């Protein structure tokens, strides 16, 4: 068979690739074994290693199981690029459940369409998204609402100052977290970090990725673990200069979008890269990624605080 496109490939890009017969979360387990002390996630200076991320996703998978979520159940994830998004995503997959990635900018009617169509009984979201979810609970099958806060992912100093920023931006809400409303951190703290074995296969459904709905109601695209594994490995081989265990990915493109999910989160985890998470496009134009102090100072400036020098 003639393949006229091959001469257009960049040097060292292979013509064909073998693909492992594994579920997607094996990427994380492998990187945690190969690079246990390598920083996996960095969020405004607070870091999580691959060992810690693997254990956290095990905890979340066990927490979901304790709530009655089973293999094959759909779980909504309505989070920006914060550490909890990666934890929730891989925790859901380790349980054999199906991740339904939901745009955090959706209004209530759009949330209702996606949750009702997928049949999701559980959703994970930031706490200040709750009013939009609460408005459509009766029109969905949602039974469990797991809430988390940006504050939980920040270094101690920024976590102390976060309420001021959140109140200024109208993102501070007080929610009485009693069932069916749960706190993600509390659930994880009471769960085991032992890995689950629920018999997830490469051909099992991993995510329902909804289209943009530009020509009608969004459609849920069914993607298997194999689909996502192949896509991430293809992306990695298209960029052969990337080095395993050494890369740093500036993770601004949203993980709830399939592009960011595959080319940044999944491929980054596959490579053992450090994901520098940005919940939204950063307000800083220059930042030394190696300086936690500079990151914190820029974050404070964005809140309106100024550093006074003698």
Q: What is the CATH number of the domain that holds 231?
A: 3.40.50.980
Contact 38, 28 (CB under 8 A): no
Phi, psi of 259 (to 5 degrees): -65, -50
Residue 248 has pLDDT above 50, yes or no: yes
As a residue count, the chain comes to: 310
pTM recorded for the entire structure: 0.89
Position 103 in a domain: yes
Say if 37 falls within a structural domain. Answer: no
Q: Is residue 77 over pLDDT 90?
A: yes
CB-based burial, 51-80: b 16+ in 10 Å, e otherwise: bbbbbbbbbbbbbbbeeebeeebbbbbbbb
Q: In this structure, is the dihedral angle defined by the CA atoms of residues 16, 21, 22 and 28, taken in order, positive or negative?
A: negative
Considering only 5-9, 260-264, 292-296, which range has the smallest mean pLDDT? 292-296
Domain for residue 35, yes or no?
no
Q: Is the pLDDT of residue 304 over 80?
A: no
Residue 291 pLDDT greater than 90, yes or no: no
Share of the chain above pLDDT 70, in %: 90
Q: How far is CA 28 from CA 16, 36, 208, 214, 301, in A?
A: 24, 10, 20, 34, 35
Q: pLDDT value at position 235? A: 96
pLDDT the model gives residue 74:
98
Per-residue pLDDT band for 281 (boundaries 50, 70, 90) equals low
What is the domain count for the chain? 1
Assign 293 a pLDDT band (cuts: 50, 70, 90). very low
CB 122 within 8 A of CB 78: no
Q: Please compute the mean of the pLDDT values over residues 217-236 and round it to a whole number.
A: 96
State mean pLDDT over 209-234. 94
Does 17 reside within a domain?
A: no
Mean pLDDT of 175-203: 97
Q: Output the furthest CA–CA distance in the chain (Å, rounded).
A: 73
- What mean pLDDT is predicted for residues 211-222? 89
The percentage of residues in the chain with a pLDDT greater than 90, rounded to a whole number, is: 82
Contacts within 8 Å (CB) and 24+ apart, 192-198: 192/58, 192/59, 192/62, 193/55, 193/56, 193/58, 193/59, 193/62, 194/58, 194/62, 195/29, 195/58, 195/94, 196/58, 196/61, 196/62, 196/65, 196/94, 196/95, 198/71, 198/95, 198/96
Question: Out of 205-219, 255-269, 286-300, which region has the weakest mean confidence (pLDDT)?
Answer: 286-300
- Domain-located, residue 128: yes
> What average pLDDT does the segment 183-211 reach?
97
Query: Rounded mean pLDDT of 232-257?
Result: 96
| pLDDT greater than 50 at residue 286 | no
Segments forming the whole domain that contains residue 97: 43-279
The answer to whether position 251 is within a domain reads yes
Instruction: Identify whether 22 is part of a domain.
Output: no
The model's confidence at residue 43, banded by pLDDT at 50, 70 and 90, is very high
Average pLDDT score, the chain: 91
Query: Out of 117-126, 220-229, 283-292, which region has the weakest mean confidence (pLDDT)?
Result: 283-292
Asked if residue 303 has pLDDT above 50, the reply is no
The answer to whether position 71 is within a domain reads yes
């Amino acid at each position: 068979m003639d393949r006229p496109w091959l001469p257009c490939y960049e040097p060292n890009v292979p013509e064909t690739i073998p693909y492992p017969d594994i579920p997607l979360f094996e990427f994380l387990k492998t990187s945690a074994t190969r690079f246990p002390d390598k920083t996996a996630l960095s969020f405004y200076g607070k870091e999580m290693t691959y060992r810690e991320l693997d254990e956290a996703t095990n905890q979340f998978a066990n927490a979901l199981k304790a709530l009655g979520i089973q293999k094959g159940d759909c779980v909504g994830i309505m989070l920006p690029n914060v550490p909890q998004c990666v934890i929730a995503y891989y925790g859901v997959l380790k349980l054999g459940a199906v991740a339904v990635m939901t745009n955090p900018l959706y209004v209530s009617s759009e949330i209702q369409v996606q949750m009702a169509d997928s049949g999701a009984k559980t959703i994970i979201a930031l706490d200040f998204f709750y009013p939009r979810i609460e408005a459509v609970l009766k029109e969905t099958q949602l039974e469990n609402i797991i809430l988390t806060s940006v504050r939980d992912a920040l270094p101690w100093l920024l976590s102390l100052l976060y309420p001021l920023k959140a109140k200024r931006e109208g993102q501070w809400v007080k929610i009485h977290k009693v069932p069916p409303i749960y706190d993600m951190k509390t659930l994880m703290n009471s769960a085991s970090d032992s890995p689950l074995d629920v018999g997830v296969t490469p051909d099992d459904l991993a995510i329902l990725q909804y289209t943009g709905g530009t020509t009608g109601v969004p459609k849920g695209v069914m993607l298997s673990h194999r689909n996502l594994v192949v896509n991430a490995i293809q992306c990695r081989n298209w960029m052969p200069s990337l080095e395993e265990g050494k890369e740093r990915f500036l993770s601004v493109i949203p993980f709830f979008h399939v592009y960011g999910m595959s080319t940044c989160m999944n491929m980054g985890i596959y490579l053992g890269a450090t994901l520098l998470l940005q919940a939204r496009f950063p307000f800083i134009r220059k930042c030394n990624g190696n300086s936690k102090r500079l990151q914190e100072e820029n974050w404070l400036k964005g809140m309106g605080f100024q550093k006074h020098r003698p």
